[in-house]
Amino acid sequence: MMRPVLAIALTTFLSSCAQLAGLVGGGQTILIEPDVSEAILVSVPALRAQGYAVPSARVGSVTTWRTADSATFSFDRGVIVSTRGLGDDLMGADVRQSIAASTGGAGDWAPRINGYMNGEYQSYFMTFQCRRSATQSEQVVLGDRTVAATRITETCVNDERQIENIYWRNGNGVMVKSRQWVSSNVGYMETERVIR
Amino acid sequence: MRYWIRSVVVIASGGLFLGQSSAEPLAGYNTYGYPGLIDMPSALSRPDAELAFTSSYFKNQSRNTITFQILPRLSGSFRYSNINNFRREGGELFDRSFSLQYRFIDENPNSWRPAVAVGLNDFLGTGIYSSEYIVATKTLGHGVRVTGGLGWGRLAGVGGFDNPLGFIDQRFETRPDIDVGQGGTVDTSQFFRGDAAFFGGVEWQATDKLAFTLEYSSDDYPYEDGSAFERKSPYNIGVSYQYRPGITLGAHYLYGSEFGVQATFATNPKSPRGGPGADRAPMPVLPRRSAESLGWSVESVGEDRVETNIRNALAQSGLTLHGFSASGRSVRVEVENATYPNMAQVVGRTARALTNSVPTGVDTFTIVPVVKGLAGAAVTLNRGDLEELEYNYDNSWSSFARASFESDTGPLTPIAARYPLFDWQLRPYLSPSLFDPDDPVRVDVGLELAAQYQPAPGFEIRGAVRKKLAGNLDESTRESTSVLEKVRSDFNIYEREGDPAITELVAAYYFKPGDDLYGRVTAGYLEPMFGGISTELLWKPVDSQFALGAELNYVKQRDFDQLFGFRDYEVATGHVSGYWDMGNGFHGQVDVGRYLAGDWGTTLTLDREFKNGWKVGAFATFTDVSFDDFGEGSFDKGLRFEIPISTVTGQPNTEKLSYTMRPVQRDGGARLNVSDRLYETVRELHTPQLNDGWGRFWK
C-alpha cells in the first residue's frame, strides 16, 4: 500500500506548485542615472554569476554599484561593506580596520564586524581579527592594459574560519582589483575595474 | 553584458540552508516516524523545530507520520497507518495515532550519564499501537551508541515480566482493557500499566551519511503476527543513508521474515530553503546632498509633483501609494503591499523610495502600512538616520531603536488616484481531501477567477468562482452518519455538485470605530457552505501582545451547487476570542461561543510561530455535543501549518501556503470560514510583528 504515501507526497508537492504559479517578481529599475563612464566587473564563483556593475549611489565614502539585473555591491574606499540580491547578503559591516590595512596602515590585529541575516530574518554578526599579512608591488592586467599596483593581503580569523582578502590599489589609491570574502554561502567575490 | 543568473543564486544560497549544524547527538526516525532506532524508540531528540514527514512500509503495513520537534526536548507525531489483514478489526485497517516523546535527562558526554526520555504512543486513537516507554541512550565513541528501555503495552509483548511499578501501587500490575468508544479520547487508565519488558539496540554511524542499527524489539505484533506477516524473531537490522540534507532513506530486515523500506523528508522552519531571501537589491538611499534635483520643500515643488514622484518611486519598489500628506519638514505616507513577505521590509523599501523622491528640506518620514483600508502602526523615521545607518554593521537594530512606533490615529488621506479600484486574477487552485478510508488522498485541480472592487477606503466587493479541471473529490460517496445538523459532514456533496462553484461573493466594510478598535462587517455568500452576515469587533493596542475580539454571525446553509440558492438550515453563531502572543515563539488563542450546529463550547489553539512567518499548531474544540453524538473522533481537533512561499523560493512574495489537517471532519465544534478575520489582518501592522521581521528592513 504505497499508494497513500506517494499520494500524500504528491499532494504536498503539487500544493506548493499551485502557490508558485502566482509568483510575482520584484522587478525594479534604477532611479538615478548612473555615471556610465565607470564600471566594474564582478564575479562570484560560488554562485556561478558574473556581470558588469555601474555606480548607482554615493553616500559619504561608500559607493554602491549595481548590475543589470539588480544585484548591488557597496564599497567603502574599495572594501566591501554591503551586498544585495545574492541571497546570503552582507547586510552591513564595520571595515575601518580593513580600510586602514588596505591603504598601508599599521599591520596590527584589529577587529572587523560583518552583519548578516538568517533564515528566520534575524540579524547576526560575524567578528574577525584581521591584519595586513603581505604587501608587494605587482603589474595587474586589466582588460588589454597593464597597471602598476600594490597588492595587499589581509588575513582575518575567527574560531570558525580564516579568510584572505586581497586588494590591488594603483598609485592614486584606487582599488583596481580585489578578491573579498562576502558570506558563508556567497564565499569570495572578485572585482576588476573596467578601464576604457 | 552578461547577466546574473537568478535561479542559480537561489539554489546556491538555499541549498546550504538545509543543513543542520548541531553539536548534540541526534536521533534518527524509526518506522513510526518518531525519534528512535528501527521499530523501537531511543532517548535522543531531533533538532529543535524540525518538521519531518516519514513514510515506512513493510509487508502489508504502511505508516505515514508527521513529527514536529515542538521544543528541544519534546516531540509530537501524527500518524496515518494502513494495515492489510489486521486481525483485530479484520481485513484492511486505516488508523490514525499520535505519539509524544519527552527527553528529561540530557546525556553528559564527560560522565556515564545517558540521555533519558519517556514516551506515549497512540494514547488518543483506537489504541492499536498503544504503548508507553522509558528509554536511555548513551554514546560510546567511534560513532557507536547504545539504547535500552522499558516498555509497557504493545512494547511489553515479548519477554514481559511483572510491572516494577507494582511496588508503588498494585494497580499498575494489570493493564485494563480500553473502551475505545468513538476514539479520540485520552485514556490514562492504561498508562504504564500491566507487564513491562526490555527492549534495546545498538547504532553505528559508520560515515557522515551511512548508519547501521541492530535492535531487539519487544513488540510481538499481537494483531498482525500470523495474518499480516510472520513474526519469527525479535531482532531487526537496518541501514540508513542520508541522501541529501533533509532526506534520509532506510532499509530494514524485520522480525526474521520481511524487508522494509522508509524515507524521511525533514525541514526546519528556522532555516528554510529560501534562506534570508534572494530579493533583488533595493533602491539605494539617496543622500540629500546628491538630491538637489528633488527640490527644497514640498511647497516649492508642489504637492502634486511630490506625490507623483513618490508614487513612481514606490511603484519601482513594488509598492503602491495609498495616501500622502505633508506638513513643514515632515511627510506622512500610507503604503500598500502586494510584493514583500513582511511589513518591516515594506517600511524599509518605502523609506528608501522616499529618499529618492521627497524634497531635501523634509527630514522626517512617517510611514503607515495599510491593509484593507485599515492602518496599525505609524513608523516615524529620521531621514538622516537612513543616510547614516544604511551600511552600518548593526543597521537593523540601530534603525529599529531610532524609529518611533505609534498607533496611527488620524483618518486615512487617500490620494485621488487610489479609489475606486477594480482588480481581478485568474489562478490555478488545488484542493486536497485526506483520510477517507475509501481513498485516503483525493485532490481536485482547477481554475479560480477572483475579482475585487474597492469604491472607497475600507469598502470592498469581492467574489471568486472555481471551475474544476481534473480530480476525484467527486468520487467520495460516503454518506454522513451525523446525528447533528449536517453543517460540514455533507462536504462531499458540495464537492460533487459545485462545478462551477461560487466560493465567495461578499460586500465587506473594514473600519476603526475607536482607539485600538477595529471593526468588520461582511455580508453575502461568505464561504462555500454558508451565506449571511458576519460582524466582528477587535481590541488590539498597537504594541500589545494581547487582543480581544467578538464575532457575531447570522448565516444560512447554501445549496450544494454553491450558486445562489440556500437550504433551510439557519443559525446564529459567534465567539468571544482572546489572543496572546507569548513572546517566546508560542501563540495561544481561546474562542468561546456558539458553533455552526448550534452547539456551545470552546476552542483552544496553540501555535509555534517563527519570525519568518512559519506556523505549526494544534487545536481542539470541546462543545456540549456528547462524544457519542459527535461520532468518530469524539471531538473536533487538528493540526495546522502555515508556510510563507517566500521562505521556500527565496523570492519576495506575500502568498502563504496554509493547511488545516483534521483526522476527521464532523459537524460538532465547526466554525464559519469567513475570510479576513481582523486579528490576522491587523497583526502584521502592529509593533511586535514589525519588530520580529525587522531584519528585512534593509533587505
Q: CATH 2.40.160.40: does it fit domain B23-267?
A: yes
Percent of residues, chain B, with pLDDT higher than 70: 95
Domain limits of chain A?
Answer: 29-193
pLDDT, position B251: 97
Residue A146 C-alpha, separation from nearest chain B C-alpha, in angstroms:
23
Selected from 1.10.3210, 3.40.1010, 2.60.40, 2.40.160, the CATH number assigned to the domain covering B421-689 reads: 2.40.160
* Residue B232: Cβ within 10 Å count: 12
The C-alpha atoms of residue A104 and residue A102 are separated, in whole angstroms, by 5
- Select from A42, A59, A83, A184 the residue whose CB has the most chain B CBs within 10 Å, as the one to mutate to test that interface: A59
Residue A149 C-alpha, separation from nearest chain B C-alpha, in angstroms:
27
pLDDT, position B87: 79
How confident is residue B220, by pLDDT bands cut at 50, 70 and 90? Answer: very high
Nearest to A4 among B64, B316, B432 (CB): B64
Average pLDDT, chain B: 92
| H/E element, B151 | strand B144-153
Nearest to B390 among A19, A27, A59 (CB): A59
B698: chain A residues, CB-CB within 8 Å: 91-92
Query: Residues B584, B655: contact at Cβ < 8 Å?
Result: no
Report in angstroms the alpha-carbon separations of B231 from A162, B19, B60, B201, B340: 56, 38, 13, 18, 56
Q: Do the Cβ atoms of A47 and B8 come within 8 Å? A: yes
The C-alpha atoms of residue B49 and residue B15 are separated, in whole angstroms, by 19
pLDDT, position B1: 35
Task: Please compute the mean of the pLDDT values over residues B64-83 and round it to a whole number.
Answer: 95
Q: Is the pLDDT of residue B20 over 60?
A: no
Closest CA to B406 of B692, B685, B694, B698: B685
Q: Do the Cβ atoms of B648 and A16 come within 8 Å? A: yes
Percent of residues, chain B, with pLDDT higher than 90: 80
B277: chain A residues, CB-CB within 8 Å: 87
User: In this structure, what C-alpha cell is assigned to residue B156?
Assistant: 511489553
Q: Do the Cβ atoms of B62 and A66 come within 8 Å? A: no
- Select from B4, B17, B339, B441 the residue whose CB has the most chain A CBs within 10 Å, as the one to mutate to test that interface: B4
Query: Residues B436, A21: contact at Cβ < 8 Å?
Result: no
The C-alpha atoms of residue B493 and residue B475 are separated, in whole angstroms, by 10
Task: Please compute the mean of the pLDDT values over residues B288-294 and round it to a whole number.
Answer: 90
Q: Is the pLDDT of residue B352 over 90?
A: yes
Query: Residues A165, A181: contact at Cβ < 8 Å?
Result: yes
| CATH, range B288-417 | 3.30.300
Domain limits of chain B?
Answer: 1-19+275-280, 23-267, 288-417, 421-689
User: In this structure, what C-alpha cell is assigned to residue B246?
Assistant: 533533509
How confident is residue B24, by pLDDT bands cut at 50, 70 and 90? Answer: low
Task: Please compute the mean of the pLDDT values over residues B656-660 and round it to a whole number.
Answer: 92
Q: Is the pLDDT of residue A152 over 80?
A: yes
The C-alpha atoms of residue B98 and residue B124 are separated, in whole angstroms, by 6
Q: Which residues, including other chains, have CB under 8 Å from residue B293's CB and lie 6 or more apart?
A: none
Residue B420: asked if its preceding bond is cis (omega within 30°), the reply is yes
A77: chain B residues, CB-CB within 8 Å: none
pLDDT tens per residue across span A90-119: 999 999 999 998 887 777 899 999 999 999
Q: Do the Cβ atoms of A28 and B285 come within 8 Å? A: no
B272: chain A residues, CB-CB within 8 Å: 119
B392: chain A residues, CB-CB within 8 Å: 92, 94, 115
pLDDT, position A103: 84
Query: Residues B77, B34: contact at Cβ < 8 Å?
Result: yes
Q: Do the Cβ atoms of A88 and B275 come within 8 Å? A: yes
HSE (CB half, 13 Å, CA atoms) of B430? 20
Q: Is the pLDDT of residue B226 over 70?
A: yes
Return the ∠ at Cα B570 (arms to B566 and B572), rounded to 5°: 140
Task: Work out the angle between the directed axes of helices B343-355 and B303-316 (0-180°, nearest 10).
Answer: 130
Give B439 or B111, the one with higher predicted confidence.
B111
Query: Residues B305, B324: contact at Cβ < 8 Å?
Result: no
Report the DSSP pairing between strands B330-337 and B364-371: parallel
Instruction: Kindly report which listed range (A17-21, B531-535, B644-648) carries the lowest average pLDDT score.
Output: A17-21
Query: A29-193 sits in which CATH class?
Result: mainly beta
Query: Residues B518, B676: contact at Cβ < 8 Å?
Result: no
**B288-417 and B23-267 share a CATH fold:** no
Q: Do the Cβ atoms of B286 and A5 come within 8 Å? A: no
Q: Tell me, rounded to whole angstroms, the distance of Cα A190 from its chain centroid.
A: 8
Average pLDDT, chain A: 82
Instruction: Kindly report which listed range (A140-149, B420-429, B512-521) carries the lowest average pLDDT score.
Output: A140-149
pLDDT tens per residue across span B116-170: 999 999 987 778 899 999 999 999 988 999 999 999 999 998 888 888 888 888 8
pLDDT, position B176: 81
- Write down the ipTM of this complex: 0.88
Q: Tell me, rounded to whole angstroms, the distance of Cα B472 from its chain centroid.
A: 26
Query: Residues B615, B241: contact at Cβ < 8 Å?
Result: no
Nearest to A71 among B1, B281, B356 (CB): B281
Phi, psi of B45, deg, nearest 5: -120, 180
Provide DSSP, B353-369.
HHHTTS-TT--EEEEEE
User: In this structure, what C-alpha cell is assigned to residue A76?
Assistant: 567603502
How confident is residue B19, by pLDDT bands cut at 50, 70 and 90? Answer: very low
How confident is residue A16, by pLDDT bands cut at 50, 70 and 90? Answer: very low
Task: Please compute the mean of the pLDDT values over residues B343-349 and round it to a whole number.
Answer: 97
User: Residue B615 — left, alpha, or beta (φ > 0 → left; ψ -120 to 50 → alpha)?
Assistant: beta
pLDDT tens per residue across span B410-442: 789 999 999 999 999 999 999 988 888 788 889
pLDDT, position B646: 94
To which residue does cell 526516525 refer?
Answer: B29
Residue B277 C-alpha, separation from nearest chain A C-alpha, in angstroms:
5
Burial per residue of B333-359, b for 16 or more beta-carbon CB atoms within 10 angstroms, e otherwise: bbbbbebbbbbbbbbbbbbbbbbbbbb
Nearest to A28 among B13, B14, B317 (CB): B317
Q: Is the pLDDT of residue B60 over 70?
A: yes
User: In this structure, what C-alpha cell is assigned to residue B281?
Assistant: 537589491
pLDDT, position B25: 80
pLDDT tens per residue across span A22-50: 222 333 333 333 444 689 999 999 999 99
| H/E element, B253 | strand B247-254
The C-alpha atoms of residue A185 and residue B17 are separated, in whole angstroms, by 9
pLDDT tens per residue across span B437-455: 788 889 999 999 999 999 9
